[in-house]
Amino acid sequence: MPEDSRFGPARHVTLPGPFVVDSGAVLGTVDVGYSTHGDPRHPTILICHALTGDQHVASPHPRTGKPGWWSRMVGPGLPIDTSRHFVVCANVLGSCMGTSGPASVDPASGCRYAMRFPVVTIRDMVRVQALLLDHLGVGRLHAVVGGSMGGMQVLAWAAAFPDRVERAVVIASAARHAAQPIAFHEVGRQAIMADPNWRGGDYYDGPPPAAGLAVARMAAHITYVSEAGLTEKFGRRLQNRPDGATGAKSFGFDADFQVESYLRHQGISFVDRFDANAYLYITRAMDYFDLGEEHGGRIADAFRGSRTRFCLVSFDTDWLYPTAESRAVVKALHAAGAAASFVELSSPFGHDAFLLDVPELDRVVAGFLAS
């Protein structure tokens, strides 16, 4: 790999502005936290992360020390092969891991943006990624790959920059956010904003709205797993009690059931690594996502003339972005004359399957990227 401070895990750049977001608001400059893996002379694969993901796709998370969130997919000899591709992953605009978002300091005022940060869109996220790639000297992309909100970015990439995207891998995603996922996001936002520590978003000099954010995460987490998966993993099994008693009901409000304890842990561990305002902004961007919006509802019109090759994957137990959403995208792509393949994979993991051990997903991704 060439010696160049632009390349490697855990990098950071301040891109010169002004950057005009879809709402019309202007950011003077944009910070971007990102990681690269592999040799920049190789064909580039851009990975787009999901709602609560980040740029630490294949290297340890700096706060939790855990392995990269897709380290089973990205690395030497893995389906996204860093010995043959230059892999880039950037924290999205609006997030809290180095890229400008509500927790960032506004250079103009010297204060945190908080809710003065502009509401951004998935397309804004993608345009920042394009500027980052310009900075890295990357023109065309061998592929853009992402699951869930990452898949929305992949579709937005292919729509906004068709000439830069050779291949697009869209996993467990949708071309527009439907009513039920909007509803779940709204529950999460209301939970955060109901927390008195939220204080209109200006909580950075005090305690964060941790309780609200934990509730938001708990509600969201249920949508990430399958009903059968929860039953299989926990069923109605009871926790062992702190006093050592096994599996007895407390007749109280402690976490009697293992599934309660698991959910509480999901909520509590999340608040240590994520900013509540960023959660508001990113869920809003997802809710606003609708590739048909500018085309009278016709998603196909977003892809007319595209020469990008698309690969869509859904999971049979994903009820958040179910197979029907992927099918709708494929139908639109075919109507636009684009090349699109689609597979529904079987997995017990629900929506989270794209992050977990699904060997068939590895084969599909590896095969499509080598094609």
C-alpha separations of 118 from 48, 113, 160 in Å: 21, 9, 21
x-or-dash string of contact with a second copy, 312-331, rule CB under 8 A: -------x------------
Decide whether 70 or 288 has the Cβ nearer to a second copy: 288
Secondary structure (DSSP) of 41-109: TSPEEEEE--TT--S-SSS--TTT-PPPTTTTTEETTSSEETTTSEEEEEPPTT-SSSS-STTSB-TTT
Q: Are strands 309-315 and 339-345 parallel, antiparallel or unpaired?
A: parallel
Using the rule CB under 8 A, is 123 a contact of a second copy? no
Rounded to an integer, what is the distance from CA 162 to the centroid of its chain?
21
Query: Binding residue for a second copy (CB under 8 A) from 196, 207, 337, 367?
Result: 196
Whole-angstrom Cα distance, residue 294 to residue 314? Answer: 26
CB 250, min distance to a second copy, A: 8
CB 196, min distance to a second copy, A: 6
Q: Of residues 272-301, which lie at the interface with a second copy (CB under 8 A)?
A: 280, 284, 287-288, 290
Stretch that binds a second copy, among 55-63, 72-80, 249-257, 303-311 (CB under 8 A): 249-257
Catalytic residue among 95, 104, 148, 173: 148
CB 350 within 8 Å of CB 225: yes
Which residues, including other chains, have CB under 8 Å from residue 324's CB and lie 6 or more apart? Answer: none
Whole-angstrom Cα distance, residue 320 to residue 174? Answer: 10
Residue 185 designated active-site: no
Q: Is 362 annotated as a binding residue?
A: no
Whole-angstrom Cα distance, residue 85 to residue 77? Answer: 10
What's the count of helices (H) and strands (E) in the chain, helices before strands? 9, 10
CB 104, min distance to a second copy, A: 18
Tokens of 27: 């950011």
Using the rule CB under 8 A, is 187 a contact of a second copy? yes
Containing 80, the helix (H) or strand (E) segment is strand 80-81
Residue 135 designated active-site: no
Size of the site for a second copy (CB under 8 A): 55
Using the rule CB under 8 A, is 348 a contact of a second copy? no
Residue 351 designated active-site: yes
Whole-angstrom Cα distance, residue 153 to residue 37? Answer: 20
Decide whether 116 or 363 has the Cβ nearer to a second copy: 116
Using the rule CB under 8 A, is 102 a contact of a second copy? no
Annotated binding site for substrate: 217, 352
Residues that bind a second copy (CB under 8 A): 22-23, 25, 115, 118-119, 176-180, 182-184, 186-187, 189-191, 193-196, 211-212, 214-215, 218-219, 222, 227, 230-231, 233-236, 249, 251-253, 255-257, 259-260, 263-264, 267, 280, 284, 287-288, 290, 319
Active site residues per annotation: 148, 318, 351
